[in-house]
Structure 1
Amino acid sequence: MATDETADIVVVGGGMVGLASAIALKDRGLDVVLCDPGEARARTSYGNAGVVSRGSILPMASPAFWGKLPAYLRNADRGLRLNYAHLPQVVAYGAHFMAAARASRWRRAAAALLPLTSAAYPAHERLAARAGTTDRLQRTGWLKAYRTEAAFASAALEREILAQHGVAFEILDTAGVRDLEPALVRPYARAMLLTETGSVREPGRLIEACETLFAGLGGRLLRGSVGRMTPEAGGWAVPHESGTVRARQVVLAAGAASGKIAGTLGYRFAVAAERGYHRHYALHPDSPPLTRPVLDTGAGSILSPMGDHRVRVLSGVELNARDAAPDYTQIEAASQEAAETLRLGGPLDNEPWLGSRPSTPDGLPVIGRAPRHEGLLFAFGHGHIGLSTGPITGEVVADLATGRTPAVPVAPFAPERLLRWPRLF
Structure 2
Amino acid sequence: MRRGGRRMARTDAIVLGAGIVGVSAALHLRERGLSVTLIDRAQPGEGTSFGNAGVIEGSGLLPTSLPYDPVVLLKHALKLSPQSNYRLGALPGLASWLIAYFKASAPAAQANIARDLRPLMAQARGEHRRLAEEAGVQGLLSPTGYLKVYRTAADFAATSTERQLADDLNIPFRVLDEAGARALEPLLTGPFAAAIHWPDCDNVSDPGGLVKAYARLLERRGGLLVRGDARSLRRSGSLWRVETAEGPVDGQIAVVALGPWSLDALKGLGLPQPLPLAVKRGYHIHFEPKPGQFLSRGIVDRAGGFALQGTKGGIRATTGIEFARRDDPATHRQVRQVIAGVRRLVDVGPQVHAEPWLGFRPAFPDSKPVIGRAPGHADLFLDFGHSHWGLTLGPVSGRLLADLVMGVTPFTDPTPFSPARFATA
Smaller-chain TM-score bracket:
over 0.9
Per-residue CA deviations over 1:131-163 (Å, capped at 9, x if unaligned) read 111001121111110010000001111111121
Of residues 277, 282, 302 in structure 1, which corresponds to 2:307? 302
**Does 1:392 find its partner at 2:396?**
yes
Structure 1 residues 295 and 373: CA distance shift in structure 2, 3 A: same
Q: How far apart, in 1, do the equivalents of 2:359 and 2:9 lie? A: 31
SS across alignment from 2:349: strand
Structure 1 residues 84 and 65: CA distance shift in structure 2, 3 A: farther
**Does 1:124 find its partner at 2:128?**
yes
Structure 1 residues 327 and 410: CA distance shift in structure 2, 3 A: same
**Does 1:402 find its partner at 2:406?**
yes
Structure 1 residues 389 and 324: CA distance shift in structure 2, 3 A: same
Deviates more, 1:390-399 or 1:227-236: 227-236
Q: How far apart, in 2, do the equivalents of 1:83 and 1:42 lie? A: 25
Q: How far apart, in 1, do the equivalents of 2:141 and 2:164 lie? A: 29
Q: How far apart, in 1, do the equivalents of 2:184 and 2:205 lie? A: 19
Q: How does 1:193-232 map to 2 (within 5 A)?
A: 193-232=197-236
Deviation at 1:188, TM superposition (A): 1.5
Which residue in 1 is equivalent to 2:259? 255
Of residues 266, 276, 280 in structure 2, which corresponds to 1:274? 280
Per-residue CA deviations over 1:90-136 (Å, capped at 9, x if unaligned) read 12211211221212211110110000000000001000001111001
Q: How does 1:72-111 map to 2 (within 5 A)?
A: 72-111=76-115
Structure 1 residues 72 and 242: CA distance shift in structure 2, 3 A: farther
Instruction: Verify the 8 A CA contact 1:80 1:318 in the aligned structure 2.
Output: yes
Instruction: Verify the 8 A CA contact 1:226 1:241 in the aligned structure 2.
Output: no
Deviation at 1:259, TM superposition (A): 2.5
Deviation at 1:275, TM superposition (A): 0.8
Q: How far apart, in 2, do the equivalents of 1:350 and 1:330 lie? A: 14
Deviation at 1:379, TM superposition (A): 0.3
**Does 1:289 find its partner at 2:294?**
yes
| Residue ranges of structure 1 left out of the alignment (5+ in a row) | none
Deviation at 1:282, TM superposition (A): 1.2
Deviates more, 1:97-106 or 1:127-136: 97-106
Which residue in 1 is equivalent to 2:169? 165
Structure 1 residues 244 and 42: CA distance shift in structure 2, 3 A: same
Which residue in 2 is equivalent to 1:325? 329
Q: How far apart, in 2, do the equivalents of 1:335 and 1:300 lie? A: 11
Which residue in 2 is equivalent to 1:12? 16
Of residues 148, 153, 176 in structure 1, which corresponds to 2:157? 153
* Residue identity matched to 1:167: I
Q: How far apart, in 2, do the equivalents of 1:48 and 1:224 lie? A: 24
Q: How does 1:367-378 map to 2 (within 5 A)?
A: 367-378=371-382
Per-residue CA deviations over 1:20-60 (Å, capped at 9, x if unaligned) read 11111111111111111115675111111111122212122
Structure 1 residues 151 and 414: CA distance shift in structure 2, 3 A: same
* Residue identity matched to 1:52: I
| Residue ranges of structure 2 left out of the alignment (5+ in a row) | none
Structure 1 residues 220 and 40: CA distance shift in structure 2, 3 A: closer
Instruction: Verify the 8 A CA contact 1:21 1:398 in the aligned structure 2.
Output: yes
**Does 1:136 find its partner at 2:140?**
yes
Aligned residues: 419
Structure 1 residues 40 and 23: CA distance shift in structure 2, 3 A: closer
Deviation at 1:16, TM superposition (A): 0.4
Instruction: Verify the 8 A CA contact 2:226 2:245 in the aligned structure 1.
Output: no
Per-residue CA deviations over 1:355-396 (Å, capped at 9, x if unaligned) read 101111111111111120110111000011110111111111
**Does 1:183 find its partner at 2:187?**
yes
Deviates more, 1:17-26 or 1:333-342: 333-342
Instruction: Verify the 8 A CA contact 1:275 1:357 in the aligned structure 2.
Output: yes
SS across alignment from 2:28: helix
Deviation at 1:177, TM superposition (A): 1.2
Instruction: Verify the 8 A CA contact 2:35 2:223 in the aligned structure 1.
Output: yes
Structure 1 residues 42 and 333: CA distance shift in structure 2, 3 A: farther
Deviation at 1:2, TM superposition (A): 5.3
Deviates more, 1:131-140 or 1:88-97: 88-97
Deviates more, 1:37-46 or 1:212-221: 37-46
- TM-score of the two chains, using structure 2 as the length reference: 0.94
Deviation at 1:69, TM superposition (A): 2.1
Deviation at 1:349, TM superposition (A): 2.7
Q: How far apart, in 1, do the equivalents of 2:351 and 2:247 lie? A: 41
Q: How far apart, in 2, do the equivalents of 1:269 and 1:65 lie? A: 29
